[in-house]
C-alpha cells in the first residue's frame, strides 16, 4: 500500500472498481493551476514560519513550476490511482524533487486544499462571467439608444397591451443582466476567502500565517472557523443560483426572439449565421440558437438543485459527498459563459423590422388606455372612463376598424365630452411620448436611461484592461 499517501494503516489494496468510483481526477484536473498556486503560497508560508528552510521552499516551488509546465505542455500523465488533482500534483512533485516533496503537505489537509482550489477557480471564472455580462449590457445600452423611438406593441398575457419602444424593451433586459452582474460581484466577494490553515477540520498546531497565504493569493479575508472553512460550499451554491438566474433571463429573451422572428410577429430578423435550415422544408429558417439557449436553462436549474441536495443534512465537517460539488459548478460555468458569449453576438447582429411592429400596433386597440386617460382629463372618474372605452372597443369589434377610425359623432355617442382633440391622443407615438416619467417608454426617457446605464454599469463592474 506504499503507493497511497494513507497506505500506512492498510493491509489490502484499494479495489480498482473503488478507485474508479471515488476518483475525481477526471474533472478536478481543471483546477491544476489553482492547486499549484495554492501549494506555492503554502510552501512559502511554511518557510516564513520556520517549518521549512528557504532552500526547501525554493526546491518545492521549482518542482511545482515543473509540474505546471508538464501539465500545460500535455506531457503530464494523470493517474486515477492518485485519485484527485491534489495527489496527482504532489506525487509527481515528489518524483521530481525527491523526499522533500513529502514536506509540502505539512500543516495542510486535502480538505482545506480542495476548498481553496475551488474558490480560486470559481473566483477567476466569475470574473470572466462578469466581463461577459458587461459586454451584453453594453450591447443592450447601444441598441436602446439607437432604437429609442422605434415603436412596437407591449404585451401582457401575450395580448397586445400598450405601445412601447424597442429601446425600452432592451433596457428591461439591461436591468436584468445588471442585477445578475451585481449578484455575481457579491458572490465573488464571498468566494475570495481563504480556508487554508484550517487543516482537516481542527486547524493546525503549527504557527501558520493564514493572512500571508490569503494575501499572496489575492484573496480578501480568511475563513474564520476551521470546521466551517472545510465544509462551507455556500459560495458554490450562490454561483449556481446566479447562473440559474442568468439562464432564466436568457431564456426569456430567447423566447421573445423566437416569437418575434416568427412569421406571426416578424418584429426582428436574426442573422443567417444564427439560424439553421430544415433538411426537408426548403423555406425554413429556424432560430436554433435562442431555442437552445432557452433549453439550457434546465441544466443550470438542475445543477443548483443537485448541489443543494448533496449538501443537505451533511454533518460537519468534510464528507466525501462534497466531491460532488465540482461538476455542477463546472457545467454551469461552461453553460453560462457559452450562452452569454453567443447572446452578445446574436443581439448585436439582429435587425428590427419597424414596419412589421408598426403594423401590429394598428390592431388591438393599443391606445384604449390613453382614451380612458383622455376622458379622465375631461372630468370623468377613471372607472367610468374605462367603461366608456370598453363600449367603444366592443363597437369596433363588431363593425371593424380601430378606435382612431371612428367618426367623431360615433365617439360622442359613447361620451359627449369627447372632442376633435381626441385623435392625436389615439396615436401610438403620442401614447409613448406621454410616458416620459422615470422608467417609462418615451424616447426621451429611454435615451436618458441608456446614458445613465453606462455609469451604473461601471459602478458594478468596470471594463478591465486587455
Ligand atoms: N477529491 C476530494 C474532493 O474533491 C478532495 C478532498 C478529499 N478529502 C478527503 N479526506 N478524502 O472533495
Q: Which residue has the higher pLDDT, 190 or 9?
A: 190
pLDDT at 56 over 60: yes
pLDDT at 314 over 60: yes
- Catalytic hit among 204, 251, 278, 332: 278
Q: Tell me what the mean pLDDT of segment 157-167 comes to.
A: 96
Q: What is the number of alpha carbons within 13 Å of residue 193 lying toward its C-beta?
A: 21
Q: What is the dihedral of CA 95, 97, 102, 104, to 10 degrees?
A: -120
Contact 435, 442 (CB under 8 A): yes
DSSP state, 323?
G
The third-level CATH classification (topology) of the domain covering 111-359 is Fumarase C; Chain A, domain 2 (1.20.200)
CA of 113 to the centre of ligand 1 (A): 9
Residues 6 or more apart from 118 whose CB is under 8 A from it? 31, 233, 236, 325, 326, 329
Among protein residues, the one whose CA lies closest to atom 3 of ligand 1 = 323
Q: Hey, what's the cell of 427?
A: 396615436
Sole residue written with cell 406621454: 434
CA of 321 to the centre of ligand 1 (A): 9
Handedness of CA 83, 89, 93, 95 (dihedral sign): positive
Q: What percent of the chain has pLDDT over 90?
A: 92
Among protein residues, the one whose CA lies closest to atom 12 of ligand 1 = 323
pLDDT at 466 over 80: no
Residues 6 or more apart from 111 whose CB is under 8 A from it? 198, 199, 200, 201, 230, 317, 318
Residue 226 annotated as catalytic: no
CA of 217 to the centre of ligand 1 (A): 21
Assign 364 a pLDDT band (cuts: 50, 70, 90): confident
Q: Which of 3-7, 201-205, 393-397, 436-440 has the lowest mean pLDDT?
A: 3-7
Contact 322, 22 (CB under 8 A): no
| 3-class secondary-structure state, position 352 | strand
Confidence (pLDDT) at 278: 79
Q: Which residues pair with 152 in a beta bridge?
A: 164
Q: What residue ranges line ligand 1, CB within 6 angstroms?
A: 24, 28, 84, 110-111, 114, 318, 320, 322-323
Assign 279 a pLDDT band (cuts: 50, 70, 90): confident
**Of residues 401, 52, 15, the one with CA closest to residue 209:** 52
Which of 35, 198, 320 is the best mutation target for the ligand 1 pocket, counting ligand atoms within 8 Å of the beta carbon and taking the most?
320
Same topology, domains 7-106 and 111-359? Answer is: no
Mean pLDDT, rounded, of the chain = 96
User: What pLDDT digit, counting tens, does each position of 375-420 carry?
Assistant: 999 999 999 999 999 999 999 999 999 999 999 999 999 999 999 9
Among protein residues, the one whose CA lies closest to atom 4 of ligand 1 = 323
- Catalytic hit among 42, 79, 157, 415: 157
Sole residue written with cell 503507493: 3
Q: Which of 30-44, 133-147, 352-366 has the lowest mean pLDDT?
A: 352-366
From start to end of 286-422, where are the E strands?
Answer: 351-352
Buried b (16+ CB within 10 A) or exposed e, 438-453: eebbbbebbeebbeeb
Domain 368-426 in CATH 1.10.40.30: yes
Which of 32, 323, 326 is the best mutation target for the ligand 1 pocket, counting ligand atoms within 8 Å of the beta carbon and taking the most?
323
The third-level CATH classification (topology) of the domain covering 7-106 is Fumarase C; Chain B, domain 1 (1.10.275)
Give residue limits of the domains in the chain.
7-106, 111-359, 368-426
Say how far apart CA 230 and CA 317 lie, in whole Å.
6
Say how far apart CA 85 and CA 76 lie, in whole Å.
12
**Of residues 166, 319, 326, the one with CA closest to residue 239:** 326
Residue 157 annotated as catalytic: yes
Q: What percent of the chain has pLDDT over 70?
A: 99
Q: Which residue has the higher pLDDT, 126 or 282?
A: 126
| 3-class secondary-structure state, position 403 | helix
Residues 6 or more apart from 447 whose CB is under 8 A from it? 145, 148, 167
Confidence (pLDDT) at 63: 98
User: What pLDDT digit, counting tens, does each position of 243-278 carry?
Assistant: 999 999 999 999 999 999 999 999 999 988 888 887
User: Helices 85-97 & 32-48, crossing angle to 10 degrees?
Assistant: 60
Q: 10 Å Cβ neighbour count for 15?
A: 10
- The pTM for the full model equals 0.94
Confidence (pLDDT) at 280: 81
DSSP state, 463?
P
pLDDT at 1 over 70: no
Amino acid at each position: 500500500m506504499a503507493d497511497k499517501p494513507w497506505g500506512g494503516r492498510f493491509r489490502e489494496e484499494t479495489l480498482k472498481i473503488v478507485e474508479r468510483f471515488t476518483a475525481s481526477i477526471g474533472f478536478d484536473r481543471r483546477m491544476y493551476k489553482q492547486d499549484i498556486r495554492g501549494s506555492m503560497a503554502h510552501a512559502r508560508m511554511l518557510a516564513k514560519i520556520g517549518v521549512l528552510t528557504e532552500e526547501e521552499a525554493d526546491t518545492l516551488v521549482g518542482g511545482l513550476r515543473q509540474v505546471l509546465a508538464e501539465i500545460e505542455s500535455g506531457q503530464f500523465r494523470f493517474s486515477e490511482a492518485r485519485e484527485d488533482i491534489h495527489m496527482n500534483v504532489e506525487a509527481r512533485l515528489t518524483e521530481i524533487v525527491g523526499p522533500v516533496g513529502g514536506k509540502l503537505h505539512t500543516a495542510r489537509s486535502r480538505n482545506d486544499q480542495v476548498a481553496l482550489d475551488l474558490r480560486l477557480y470559481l473566483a477567476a471564472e466569475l470574473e470572466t462571467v462578469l466581463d461577459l455580462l458587461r459586454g451584453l449590457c453594453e450591447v443592450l445600452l447601444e441598441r436602446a439608444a439607437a432604437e429609442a423611438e422605434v415603436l412596437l406593441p407591449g404585451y401582457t398575457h401575450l395580448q397586445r397591451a400598450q405601445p412601447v419602444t424597442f429601446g425600452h424593451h432592451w433596457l428591461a433586459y439591461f436591468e436584468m443582466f445588471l442585477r445578475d452582474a451585481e449578484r455575481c460581484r457579491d458572490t465573488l466577494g464571498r468566494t475570495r476567502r481563504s480556508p487554508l490553515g484550517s487543516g482537516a477540520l481542527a486547524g493546525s498546531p503549527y504557527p501558520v500565517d493564514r493572512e500571508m497565504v490569503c494575501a499572496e493569493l489575492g484573496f480578501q479575508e480568511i475563513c474564520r472557523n476551521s470546521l466551517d472553512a472545510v465544509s462551507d460550499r455556500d459560495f458554490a451554491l450562490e454561483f449556481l443560483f446566479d447562473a440559474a438566474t442568468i439562464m432564466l433571463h436568457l431564456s426569456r429573451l430567447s423566447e421573445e426572439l423566437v416569437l418575434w422572428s416568427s412569421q406571426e410577429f416578424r418584429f426582428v430578423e436574426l442573422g443567417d449565421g444564427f439560424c439553421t435550415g430544415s433538411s426537408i422544408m426548403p423555406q425554413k429558417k429556424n432560430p436554433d440558437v435562442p431555442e437552445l439557449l432557452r433549453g439550457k436553462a434546465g441544466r443550470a436549474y438542475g445543477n443548483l438543485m443537485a448541489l443543494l441536495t448533496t449538501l443537505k443534512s451533511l454533518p460537519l465537517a468534510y464528507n466525501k459527498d462534497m466531491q460532488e460539488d465540482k461538476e455542477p459548478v463546472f457545467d454551469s460555468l461552461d453553460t453560462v459563459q457559452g450562452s452569454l458569449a453567443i447572446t452578445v453576438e446574436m443581439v448585436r447582429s439582429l435587425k428590427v423590422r419597424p414596419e412589421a411592429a408598426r403594423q401590429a400596433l394598428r390592431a388591438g386597440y393599443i391606445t384604449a388606455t390613453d382614451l380612458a386617460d383622455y376622458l379622465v382629463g375631461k372630468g370623468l372618474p377613471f372607472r367610468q372612463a374605462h367603461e366608456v372605452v370598453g363600449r367603444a372597443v366592443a363597437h369596433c369589434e363588431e363593425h371593424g376598424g380601430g378606435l382612431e377610425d371612428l367618426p367623431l359623432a360615433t365617439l360622442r355617442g359613447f361620451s359627449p365630452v369627447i372632442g376633435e382633440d381626441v385623435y392625436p391622443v389615439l396615436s401610438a407615438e403620442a401614447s409613448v411620448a406621454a410616458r416620459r416619467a422615470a422608467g417609462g417608454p418615451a424616447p426621451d426617457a429611454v435615451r436618458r436611461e441608456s446614458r445613465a446605464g453606462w455609469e451604473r454599469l461601471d459602478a458594478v463592474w468596470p471594463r478591465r484592461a486587455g
